[in-house]
């Protein structure tokens, strides 16, 4: 994040990175990138300006503080799973692609020993679980009653409410990663391998027929994307939303790579900051033939979906028996209060997305469509194991799991309403992995919206 003095220093680097793009009147660079990113969003009643003000000055600072806490900074992930779709063992050899896992003794005891779902019942046995010898041990440290609860939770995860292919956190290959020490930023991973990932996601998992080409892809034809957008406008709101969510996620990732770009790499130091060239290549209206502003609007659409999920899941976290358990009792209580503050802020947003339009038709057809959407998204979560850059794979897996968790929440409203104030909730449950992914994924989207303000400021200075 470049703000204040850091932003002014970054402007010096940015001046060296300006692309050979069409020039016009003062401020034209800003208008080219953001010309259509204003006012109301398609399929929504909300507008971009309301989101900017709410996110940048209210929610983002508190959310950022929350994600720096021990509970949310450690994420357990298996980066060694083979790609299930094609034989490709090539991995990015660039040093910035590497991920540094945490030695087990650096992870708080409460997180290492409580790798199962939290409820009042489970938390009452936290001390017993801390004595487990195996990392993430559960079964041998729990009573028969709680073991049965774990079995029920596992069954629930395998049910039709799961939108992601989750890692087996008990696998020997699963390791804890400190997200603060492995930030999402530009790694140099690009070219055919990276293109293959996104092409597989868009072409095979976004309900799109093969004869409808996306704009700016090979074989797109000369219609400027007219056939694609005619198709998109004609599909049901659920399938249109699915495409926009994936496009928004793609846009968010591209903003992170542009905002945390390696500007200087010498023997004495590395400097990361905003790369205006990279940003304009991905979002300038002229360079992207009108696609850039659409991508940014899809980012805002994704923001509204994940924000809505946070507002809906508040009752799950408000229960007195729910704890963000790390082993530090006073700190855990403080972080839970901060978590509830963030969730209440999310709920206070005045123009929430109305998800009631989703799957609202014939019940049988709606159930069939929901299952289709779930399986498509689950497939996308599996594709993340094909990403050759380990750092990109880490953040790809986390963000798809976070979005999948948000969808699970939105489509479990009736179950959330039935959650008892005390005791375990078998109808609706979240694992620690899902909780960490949900908030960190939204943190990435929130950061992207905040970074857009920085890029607007930089582009405004261009003449």
Q: Known binding site: residues?
A: 185, 187, 198, 247, 250, 282
Given the residues 46, 102, 206, 392, the one annotated as active site: 392
Other C-beta atoms lying within 10 Å of the C-beta of residue 127: 12
Per DSSP, what are the bridge partners of residue 270?
Answer: 265
* Count of beta carbons in the 10 Å neighbourhood of residue 443: 22
Q: Are 335 and 69 spatial neighbours (Cβ–Cβ below 8 Å)? A: yes
Provide the sign of the torsion angle of the four alpha carbons 127, 132, 135, 140, taken in this order.
Answer: negative
Active site residue 386: no
Half-sphere exposure of 81 (CA within 13 A, CB side): 24
Q: Is position 44 annotated as part of the catalytic site?
A: no
Question: Is residue 307 helix, strand or coil?
Answer: helix
Q: Which two tokens stand for residue 222?
A: 């000369």
Contacts of 291 (CB under 8 A, 6+ apart): 215, 216, 225
**How far is it, in rounded angstroms, from Cα 284 to Cα 21?**
9
**CA 81: distance to chain centroid?**
20
Binding-site residues for FAD sit at 185, 187, 198, 247, 250, 282
Going by C-alpha positions, the residue among 44, 162, 109 that lies closest to residue 437 is 162
Cross-strand partners of 178: 74
Identify the CA nearest to 446 among candidates 8, 30, 51, 36.
51
By annotation, the residues acting in catalysis are 389, 392
């Amino acid at each position: 994040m470049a703000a204040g003095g850091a932003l002014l220093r970054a402007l010096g680097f940015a001046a060296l990175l300006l692309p050979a793009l069409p020039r016009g009147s003062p401020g034209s660079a800003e208008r080219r990138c953001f010309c259509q990113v204003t006012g109301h969003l398609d399929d929504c009643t909300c507008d971009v300006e309301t989101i900017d003000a709410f996110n940048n000055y209210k929610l983002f600072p508190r959310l950022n503080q929350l994600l720096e806490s021990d509970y949310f900074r450690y994420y357990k992930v298996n980066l060694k799973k083979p790609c299930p779709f094609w034989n490709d063992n090539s991995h990015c050899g660039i040093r910035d692609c590497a991920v540094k896992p945490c030695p087990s003794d650096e992870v708080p005891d409460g997180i290492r020993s409580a790798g199962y779902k939290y409820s009042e019942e489970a938390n009452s046995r936290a001390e017993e679980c801390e004595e487990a010898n195996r990392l993430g041990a559960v079964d041998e440290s729990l009573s028969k009653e709680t073991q049965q609860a774990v079995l029920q939770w596992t069954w629930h995860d395998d049910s039709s409410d799961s939108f992601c292919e989750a890692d087996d956190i008990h696998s020997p290959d699963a390791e804890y990663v400190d997200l603060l020490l492995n930030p999402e930023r530009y790694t140099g991973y690009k070219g055919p391998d990276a293109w293959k990932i996104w092409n597989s996601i868009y072409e095979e998992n976004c309900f799109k027929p093969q004869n409808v080409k996306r704009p700016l892809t090979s074989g797109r034809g000369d219609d400027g994307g007219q056939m694609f957008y005619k198709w998109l406008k004609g599909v049901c709101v659920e399938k249109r939303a699915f495409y926009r969510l994936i496009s928004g996620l793609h846009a968010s990732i591209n903003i992170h790579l542009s905002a945390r770009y390696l500007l200087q790499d010498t023997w004495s130091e590395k400097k990361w900051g905003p790369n205006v060239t990279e940003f304009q290549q991905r979002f300038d209206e002229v360079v992207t033939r009108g696609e850039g502003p659409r991508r940014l609007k899809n980012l805002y659409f994704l923001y509204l979906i994940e924000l809505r999920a946070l507002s809906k899941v508040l009752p799950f976290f408000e229960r007195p028996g729910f704890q963000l358990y790390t082993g530090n009792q006073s700190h855990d209580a403080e972080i839970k209060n901060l978590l509830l503050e963030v969730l209440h802020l999310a709920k206070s947003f005045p123009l929430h997305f109305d998800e009631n339009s989703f799957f609202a038709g014939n019940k049988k057809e709606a159930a069939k469509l929901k299952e289709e959407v779930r399986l498509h998204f689950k497939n996308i979560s599996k594709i993340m194991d094909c990403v050759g850059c380990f750092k990109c794979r880490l953040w790809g897996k986390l963000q798809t799991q976070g979005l999948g968790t948000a969808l699970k929440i939105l489509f479990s409203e009736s179950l959330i309403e039935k959650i008892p104030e005390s005791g375990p909730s078998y109808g609706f449950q979240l694992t620690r992995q899902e909780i960490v992914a949900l908030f960190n994924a939204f943190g990435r989207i929130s950061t992207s919206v905040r970074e857009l303000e920085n890029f607007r400021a930089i582009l405004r200075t261009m003449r």
